[in-house]
């Protein structure tokens, strides 16, 4: 039997990779993909704890996380298209209208 | 399933999962990143099956690898970015700080996990994680969040159309 720690460590690796991607990548679409990776890592943690405790509530929450991720992707990618249309770029370094200087 | 077979399957799913997740970050072309992400979602679905979350493994493949990734690929296609627009991913000093921060967070979480000791898995019944069992809990205990999710999806549909529309 694989101990739950393995699954939680795997989720931590997945989250760290997604987190590094969000901080390092410039392309807004790839930044969104890395956010999806982080959401999946959170889901894996929920499901690992659900399996460990023998309760299915964690799986129900993971189901809702997937639904919220779908909504987030739809609205987020619409924002990416709107930004590309108005500014002609999707580099997160060049979209800086709200930056404090 | 034997204990050793489960361990072997865990590593068979976990190693490609981490490799394809790293591929998402390493890829310069968004289409390659999307393909790596689809691969990562499939390996993660395998991990979900190991955790006896059968319904979620299927939802993962259908919703994530199917619907959400098609959405990503459509946006990549619509924007049709040239290499010049994509630009080179130059690692400035601030980005190295980001990499170090992510690595530090990983070390923190993994060391906390190592200190918390082994977590033995509880034996579960045959219907754990099946469509019937999870569906029953979704429609009884989690009925209100379930219905709220439908409102959320409606808001997301309207919001996406309003934001992406050229003239409102």
**Residue range(s) defining the domain that contains residue B94:** 88-117
Q: What is the CA radius of gyration of chain A?
A: 17
DSSP state of B122: P
Domains annotated for chain A, with CATH where assigned, are 4-87 (1.10.287.3510)
* Same domain assignment for residues B56 and B110: no
User: Is B122 inside a domain boundary?
Assistant: no
Are residues A34 and B24, on separate chains, in Cβ contact within 8 Å? yes
Question: What is residue A43's predicted lDDT score, i.e. its pLDDT?
Answer: 95
In tens, the pLDDT along A50-99 reads: 998 888 899 999 999 999 999 999 999 999 988 888 888 888 877 777 77
Are residues B71 and A77, on separate chains, in Cβ contact within 8 Å? yes
* Same domain assignment for residues B70 and B45: yes
pLDDT band at B84 (very low <50, low <70, confident <90, very high): low
pLDDT band at A9 (very low <50, low <70, confident <90, very high): very high
As a whole number of angstroms, the distance between CA A56 and CA B129 comes to: 7
Number of domain units in chain B? 3
Helical axes B93-115 vs A4-24, angle rounded to 10°: 170
* Same domain assignment for residues B81 and B5: yes
Are residues B98 and A50, on separate chains, in Cβ contact within 8 Å? no
Question: What is residue B59's predicted lDDT score, i.e. its pLDDT?
Answer: 92
pLDDT band at B117 (very low <50, low <70, confident <90, very high): confident
Query: Taking chain B, what is the end-to-end CA distance rounded to the nearest angstrom?
Result: 57
* Same domain assignment for residues B1 and B80: yes
User: Is B93 inside a domain boundary?
Assistant: yes
Q: Average pLDDT, stretch B70-75?
A: 90
* Same domain assignment for residues B149 and B71: no
Alpha-carbon distance B33 to nearest alpha carbon in chain A (angstroms): 7
Secondary structure, 3-state, B4-48? HHHHHHHHHHHHHHHHHHHHHHHCCCHHHHHHHHHHHHHHHHHHH
The partner residue sitting opposite A60, judged by closest CB among B34, B113, B137, is B137
Query: Is pLDDT of A16 > 90?
Result: yes
* Same domain assignment for residues B37 and B21: yes
* Same domain assignment for residues B107 and B136: no
- Interface predicted TM-score (ipTM) of this complex, two decimals: 0.91
Question: What is residue B137's predicted lDDT score, i.e. its pLDDT?
Answer: 93
* Same domain assignment for residues B19 and B71: yes
As a whole number of angstroms, the distance between CA B117 and CA B72 comes to: 40
* Same domain assignment for residues B105 and B95: yes
* Same domain assignment for residues B63 and B144: no
Q: Which of B65, B86, B107 is the last residue of a domain?
A: B86
Distances (CA, A) of A89 to A9, B85, B135: 37, 7, 43
pLDDT band at B168 (very low <50, low <70, confident <90, very high): low
In tens, the pLDDT along B5-27 reads: 889 999 999 999 999 999 999 88
* Same domain assignment for residues B18 and B73: yes
């Amino acid at each position: 039997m694989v101990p739950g720690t393995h699954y939680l460590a795997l989720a931590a690796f997945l989250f760290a990779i997604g987190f590094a991607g969000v901080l390092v990548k410039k392309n807004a679409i790839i930044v969104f993909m890395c956010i999806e990776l982080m959401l999946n890592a959170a889901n894996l943690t929920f499901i690992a704890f659900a399996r460990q405790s023998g309760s299915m509530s964690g799986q129900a929450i993971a189901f809702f996380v997937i639904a919220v991720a779908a909504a987030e992707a739809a609205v987020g990618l619409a924002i990416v298209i709107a930004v590309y249309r108005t500014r002609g770029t999707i580099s997160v370094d060049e979209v800086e209208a709200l930056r404090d200087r | 399933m034997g204990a050793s077979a489960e361990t072997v399957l865990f590593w068979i799913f976990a190693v490609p999962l981490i490799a394809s997740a790293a591929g998402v970050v390493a890829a310069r072309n968004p289409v390659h990143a999307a393909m790596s992400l689809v691969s990562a979602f499939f390996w993660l679905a395998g991990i979900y099956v190991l955790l006896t979350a059968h319904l979620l493994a299927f939802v993962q493949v259908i919703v994530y690898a199917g619907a959400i990734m098609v959405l990503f690929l459509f946006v990549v296609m619509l924007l049709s970015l040239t290499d010049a627009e994509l630009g080179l991913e130059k690692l400035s000093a601030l980005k190295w700080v980001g990499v170090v921060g992510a690595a530090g967070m990983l070390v923190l979480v993994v060391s906390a996990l190592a200190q918390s000791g082994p977590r033995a898995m509880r034996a579960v019944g045959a219907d754990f994680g099946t469509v019937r069992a999870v569906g029953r809990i979704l429609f009884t205990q989690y009925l209100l969040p379930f219905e709220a999710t439908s409102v959320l999806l409606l808001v997301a549909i309207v919001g996406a159309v309003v934001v992406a529309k050229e003239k409102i």
